[in-house]
Amino acid sequence: MHDHHSDMHPLKRLLIDILMSSLFIMLAGFALWLLWITFFRATFDTGLVTANEQTELERIATGAGVSNEHFHNVDQAVLEGAESLSLCLKCHGNYPHSKAPDVRAFLNAHAFFTACEACHIRPLDSDNIAYRWLNKKTGAELSKLEGKPGSYGAMIVPIKIVEGVGQRLDESTDRAFIEEYLGLRAVFNADQQAEAKVRIHKEISQKPIFCDECHKKSGVLNFRSLLYPPAVANRLETGEVASMITKYSEFYLPTMFDPASKVRGRRNRPQE
Amino acid sequence: MSHGKNERMFVRLTKSQRIQHVILFVSTGLLILTGFMLMGERWVIDMFGSAGNEIFYWRGIVHRIAGVAVTLVCLYHLGYVVVQEEGRSWIKDMLPRLSDATHASQNVSYMLGFREARPKMERFTYIEKVEYFSVYFGMFIVIVTGTMMWTEQYWPKFWLDVADAFHLGEATLAALAIIIGHIFSVHYNPHVYPMNKAFIDGKISESMMKEEHGLWYERELERLAAEEAEAASEGNNNA
Amino acid sequence: MKTKHTARNITVALFLLIAFFILFIPTTVLAVDDENCLMCHKYAGLGRYAKSEEQKAIKRIFYVNEELFKASYHGKLRCKSCHNGVEEIPHTDVTNVDCATDCHLNDPSTGRDFSHKPIVDDLKKSAHGEDGAKSENIEDLPKCKDCHSNKPYQISVDKDLKSMQFIKVCNECHESEEWTNRFYKHMFYRAQTRRPSKQVVALCSKCHADKEKMERHDLEVVVGFKDTFHGKAIVYGDEDVANCLNCHASYQMGFSPHRITSHTESSSPVHPNNKLENCSQAGCHANAQEAFAKKGKVHPSNVVVERVDEGGITISEEEQEFQRWVLDMIALFYKILIIAVVGGLGFHRLADLYATHRERKIALRAAKLGRHSS
């Protein structure tokens, strides 16, 4: 029965077999698809709308969305700013500050290019801390600032120098514990969560470093060693930025930088 | 059932029939492809990207050209089976007979193992006859509804909806019948694998003919013997 | 006398000069960000979470990309032109932007201040506006921002030789190249591009395919457009077939998306009386005969809706139900036929394979026997 076929050169036979079987698979696949569209595919759906689902940020960033997109155009900086290896953001989100309505947006703007620990760990006077721009992905130190303000693909990271060796303060020594907690968080009850949180936040200081502790002459940060050109450094230390903060704290929010007197309702922060 | 390379071959399809078949299957293939592009999955269409618009335009053009081609070949075939000698013999052998029902039941019981041998069948088996007349039925529907949709401005919207429903249903049915009933049966048949070459060279081997068209084989042998005898007697007369 | 005249002339001249500065400086000389908003708003991370009325988190981004903004439709405006009431820092809870405000930009076509107010008024009266909508749930109605954003003119002048030459001609008379560039972009962006049909459909579907929302407003959920030829062509990227707006707000019939009305209004382009004219718009079904625009629904729906009936042109509910029934029956007929044919042919094929399998076994046995005997 197979005479023609079996008389052939093995290679030719193989080629024909491959050709015929792929053709068979294609035809059978097409036939199955036809049966699927005839009997199973939903006739009424709004595929034109639901297709191409993107995350909100992607849609905003690419401008591909139609509605709910940002009225003013938002660019890639919004996406890149949120890129961070920080474990803090896993719970606190990319816009972590939400409690103080008058400053939360400012603080969030800083969070795009500043490690949480830069403000939320208050070093002892005896500590030798250096602040450096480190690349968000590679961890390499920047040698100059390139890009739009704040969008250098890097973060200001506090580095503790002990006996000439630098240790990044934004890398928790308890990483394994935190990662394990992230997995278990959902099944923990409130008390268990609270207990874990105490350990996770043990290095976080009650009183963070405030705006006017950096934005002044010889403050916590040395803007010149943070690669800013002198004119920009001046603006940050004593110029318009600093004067805005002074005005702010004097006129609008005299109590803002004193958390003890601040009795604002603790708002529930949406979790990411 | 061995058929070697030197096996005796009989004529299964004439040149005209083969040309009609090629036009029919090329244009039907194109029609199925370009037609079901309208039912395509969204993710596939998205892969076309910015070329989608151009593809969609040519889809419509190709579908119409192939539609015209298939209509013309069908009309030609109608003339062919009425006017031409070859066509008349074709349609005469194709007409359904009572014996087809017997053959069908006998062949099915053979395939299922209830019978020793296949029934001796005619030039066209019952299944070939069903397929052939299905094409008449299907072509009538798709040509009529297709023409309606092509001249949409003259028809009420609801009629067009009806035409669309028939066109889609018939196209789905035809595509499935062609794949399962025709391609898989004729070409993916262990007897002829990898391909039934009759649609190219028009020939059928003696063994295949004996197996699948026993009655026709006997008829052909008789006819050929008669022809030979005639030729011989003519030769004698001439001499 | 002479001195008196001179004094008056000087007064007049001074007055004119002051008037000139007051009238023209704000729109021509001042930089975009003379308010220094970008001091803070240039930071990508400026933003926060807010809570919606349903207690859902909404991300609010206050970042403004200066380059994109300058290239945008509103790039010539100062922030405060729209963001009224931003006077001090922090400006928490400022009022929402009202597009009907006068912009203090001179509208060259009228000489008056430019404003979107006429459009806002139109929208108010339309099916989407609080005055024109039949529903009481006005909070669902679309606002300007639901459909529009401040995009840059997506038209490349720098790479196109023709455009460059065109602008050079403008600059022969008009001094400011920046101005001619913007004017050119404005005109040609409007002339060359429009919102792609895919986006129009997605935009309208945002509400009109939302079952709950449509139920709130006692409206038909639009679900069948995807299955129409128009819908399929749009998915492929065809921009020549009709999207929602081409029929429901056809410019050729004096409509605009802002003046959309219900299909039950006799002036609506999709009202049965106007359908034929609507379908036969230039470039579409130009030769449409009367029958074409009759007796059927352009986008089928799985619900039967109340339709206006004027002079028997449109279809009654019974007729709609009948039409659906007929179409369903055709589909059912083919489904049954397909099951029968595919099942029958499939069975025949498998049975034949079984027979071949047996034949092969017999042949093998015969061959073996033959070898033994020889």
Q: Are A248 and C89 in contact (CB under 8 A)?
A: yes
**CB-CB neighbors (< 8 A) of C341 in chain B:** 173, 176-177, 181
Site from B50, B56, B185 to mutate, C interface, most C CB atoms within 10 angstroms = B56
Q: Which residues, other chains included, contact C153 with Cβ-Cβ below 8 Å and sequence gap of 6+?
A: C71, C72, C73, C185, C186, C189
| Cross-chain Cβ contact A56/C59 below 8 Å | yes
Tell me the pLDDT band of A97, cut-offs 50, 70 and 90: confident
Residue C188 pLDDT exceeds 80 = yes
Mean pLDDT of chain B: 88
Chains A and B: how many Cβ contacts under 8 Å? 45
Give residues 149 to 208 of B whose Cβ lies within 8 Å of C: 152-158, 160-162, 165-166, 168-170, 172-173, 176-177, 180-181, 184-185, 189-191
| Cross-chain Cβ contact C327/B165 below 8 Å | yes
Tokens linked to B57: 């335009």
Residue A63 pLDDT exceeds 50 = no
Q: Are A168 and A159 in contact (CB under 8 A)?
A: yes
CB neighbourhood size of A37 (10 A): 16
Comparing A5 with C161, which gets the higher pLDDT? C161
Tokens linked to A44: 């009424």
| B84-123 pLDDT, tens digit each | 999 998 999 899 999 999 999 999 999 998 988 888 888 8
Would an 8 Å CB–CB cutoff place C365 in contact with chain B? no
Pair A19, A99 in one domain: no
Question: Phi first, then psi: what are they for A131, rounded to 5°?
Answer: -110, 130
Mean pLDDT of the B69-91 span: 94
Distance from CA of C355 to the nearest CA of A (A): 13
| Cross-chain Cβ contact B180/C232 below 8 Å | no
Whole-number percent of chain A with pLDDT over 90: 11
Pair A30, A115 in one domain: no
Residue A259 pLDDT exceeds 90 = no
Distance from CA of A157 to the nearest CA of B (A): 43
Pair A185, A240 in one domain: yes
Report the range out of A248-257, C5-14, C94-103, C176-185 with the highest average pLDDT. Answer: C176-185
Which residue from B48, B152, B185 is facing C349, i.e. has the nearest CB? B185
Mean pLDDT of chain A: 77
Residue B223, domain member (yes or no): yes
Q: Which of A167, A239, A251, A242 is nearest to A210 (CA)?
A: A242
**CB-CB neighbors (< 8 A) of B46 in chain A:** 51-52
Question: At A143, which helix (H) or strand (E)?
Answer: none
Tokens linked to A88: 């803090």
Which pLDDT belongs to residue A266? 34
Gap between the Cα atoms of B142 and B150, Å rounded? 12
Pair A96, A24 in one domain: no
Gap between the Cα atoms of C179 and C176, Å rounded? 5
Mean pLDDT of the C113-140 span: 87
**CB-CB neighbors (< 8 A) of C355 in chain B:** 110-113
| Cross-chain Cβ contact A4/B5 below 8 Å | yes
Site from B42, B43, B178 to mutate, A interface, most A CB atoms within 10 angstroms = B42
Question: At A130, which helix (H) or strand (E)?
Answer: strand A129-135
| Cross-chain Cβ contact B185/C237 below 8 Å | no
Report the range out of A11-15, A53-57, B143-147, C299-303 with the highest average pLDDT. Answer: B143-147
Q: Which amino acid is at C198?
A: K
Using DSSP's 3-state secondary structure scheme, residue A155 falls into: strand
Q: How many independent structural domains does chain B possess?
A: 1
Which residue from B42, B43, B180 is facing A31, i.e. has the nearest CB? B180
| C343-365 pLDDT, tens digit each | 999 999 899 889 888 888 888 88
Tokens linked to C137: 């749930």
Distance from CA of B239 to the nearest CA of C (A): 50
Which pLDDT belongs to residue A169? 85
Whole-number percent of chain C with pLDDT over 90: 13
Report the range out of A183-197, B152-166, C134-148, C260-274 with the highest average pLDDT. Answer: B152-166
Tell me the pLDDT band of C6, cut-offs 50, 70 and 90: low
Gap between the Cα atoms of A171 and A159, Å rounded? 10
Tokens linked to A43: 């006739």
CB neighbourhood size of B162 (10 A): 19
Gap between the Cα atoms of C305 and C219, Å rounded? 8
Strand A165-168 with A154-162, pairing: antiparallel
Query: Which residue reads 């070898």 in tokens?
Result: C371
Query: Burial level of B237, CB count in 10 A (0-12/13-18/19+)?
Result: exposed
Domain that holds residue B114: 99-124+202-239
Pair A23, A136 in one domain: no
Tell me the pLDDT band of C293, cut-offs 50, 70 and 90: confident
- Residue-by-residue DSSP string for chain B: ----TT--EEE-S-HHHHHHHHHHHHHHHHHHHHHHGGG--HHHHHHHGGGHHHHHHHHHHHHHHHHHHHHHHHHHHHHHHHHSHHHHHHHHHHS--HHHHHHHHHHHHHHTTSSSSPPP--SS-HHHHHHHHHHHHHHHHHHHHHHHHHTGGGS-HHHHHHHHHHHHHHHHHHHHIIIIIIIHHHTS-TTTTT--THHHH-EEEHHHHHHH-HHHHHHHHHHHHHHHHHHHHHHHHH-
Pair A201, A105 in one domain: yes
Distance from CA of B176 to the nearest CA of C (A): 7
Residue B160, domain member (yes or no): no
Residue A167, domain member (yes or no): yes
Mean pLDDT of the C167-172 span: 90
Report the range out of A27-36, A239-248, B9-18, B209-218 with the highest average pLDDT. Answer: A27-36
ipTM score: 0.88
Pair A32, A95 in one domain: no
Q: Which of C77, C92, C79 is nearest to C42 (CA)?
A: C79
Residue C206, domain member (yes or no): no
Which residue from B1, B176, B190 is facing A31, i.e. has the nearest CB? B176
Residue A154 pLDDT exceeds 70 = yes
Pair A124, A251 in one domain: yes
Would an 8 Å CB–CB cutoff place B214 in contact with chain C? no
**CB-CB neighbors (< 8 A) of B190 in chain C:** 353, 356, 360
Tell me the pLDDT band of B79, cut-offs 50, 70 and 90: very high
Which pLDDT belongs to residue B135? 94
Residue B115, domain member (yes or no): yes
Q: Which residues of B85-116 are buried (b: 16+ CB within 10 A; e: fewer)?
A: eebeebeeeeeeeeebeebbebbbebbeeeee
Strand partners of residue C101: none
| Cross-chain Cβ contact A34/B176 below 8 Å | yes
Query: Which residue reads 């930089």 in tokens?
Result: C31
Residue A144, domain member (yes or no): yes
Mean pLDDT of the A139-162 span: 87
Domain that holds residue C11: 1-30
Residue B25, domain member (yes or no): no
Tokens linked to A171: 């890398």
Would an 8 Å CB–CB cutoff place A57 in contact with chain B? no
Gap between the Cα atoms of A104 and C95, Å rounded? 19
Using DSSP's 3-state secondary structure scheme, residue C133 falls into: coil
Between vectors from CA B142 to CA C315 and to CA B179, what angle results, nearest 5°? 130
CB neighbourhood size of C27 (10 A): 15
Residue A108, domain member (yes or no): yes
Residue A35, domain member (yes or no): yes
Gap between the Cα atoms of B6 and C196, Å rounded? 65
Q: What are B's interface residues with A at a Cβ cutoff of 8 A? A: 1-5, 36, 39, 42-43, 46, 172, 175-176, 179-180, 183-184, 188, 190-191, 193-195
Gap between the Cα atoms of A215 and C205, Å rounded? 49
Q: How many independent structural domains does chain C possess?
A: 2
Which pLDDT belongs to residue A167? 85
Strand partners of residue A165: A162
Tell me the pLDDT band of C194, cut-offs 50, 70 and 90: confident
| C326-344 pLDDT, tens digit each | 989 999 999 999 999 999 9
Comparing C123 with C96, which gets the higher pLDDT? C123
Write the Ramachandran bin of B230: left for phi over 0, alpha for psi from -120 to 50, otherwise beta. Answer: alpha
Mean pLDDT of the A39-67 span: 48
Tell me the pLDDT band of C161, cut-offs 50, 70 and 90: confident
| Cross-chain Cβ contact A35/B176 below 8 Å | yes
Mean pLDDT of the B24-48 span: 92
Pair A90, A23 in one domain: no
Mean pLDDT of the B189-213 span: 80
Query: What DSSP designation does C82 have?
Result: H
Would you give the end-to-end CA distance of chain A in angstroms?
67
Domain that holds residue A17: 12-39
| Cross-chain Cβ contact C45/A66 below 8 Å | no
| C226-284 pLDDT, tens digit each | 888 999 999 898 988 899 999 998 888 888 889 998 888 888 888 888 888 888 887 78
**Cα Rg, chain A, nearest whole Å:** 29
Would an 8 Å CB–CB cutoff place C332 in contact with chain B? no
Question: Is the pTM above the cut of 0.90?
Answer: no
Which pLDDT belongs to residue A176? 86
Mean pLDDT of chain C: 80
Would an 8 Å CB–CB cutoff place C361 in contact with chain B? no
Residue A71, domain member (yes or no): no
Gap between the Cα atoms of B174 and B181, Å rounded? 10
| Cross-chain Cβ contact C201/A63 below 8 Å | no
Residue B2, domain member (yes or no): no
Q: Where are the beta strands (DSSP E) in chain C?
A: 47-51, 57-61, 102-106, 113-115
Residue C101 pLDDT exceeds 70 = yes
Residue A79, domain member (yes or no): no
Gap between the Cα atoms of A70 and C276, Å rounded? 39
Compute, in degrees rounded to 10, the torsion defined by CA atoms A224, A227, A230, A231. Answer: -130
Q: How many independent structural domains does chain A possess?
A: 2
Gap between the Cα atoms of C64 and C92, Å rounded? 17
Q: Which of B6, B203, B206, C370 is nearest to A4 (CA)?
A: B6
Would an 8 Å CB–CB cutoff place A30 in contact with chain B? yes
CB neighbourhood size of A227 (10 A): 18
Tokens linked to B178: 């062609």
Distance from CA of A107 to the nearest CA of C (A): 8
Which pLDDT belongs to residue B1? 41
Pair A219, A145 in one domain: yes
Distance from CA of A70 to the nearest CA of B (A): 25
CA atoms within 13 A on the CB side of C191: 6
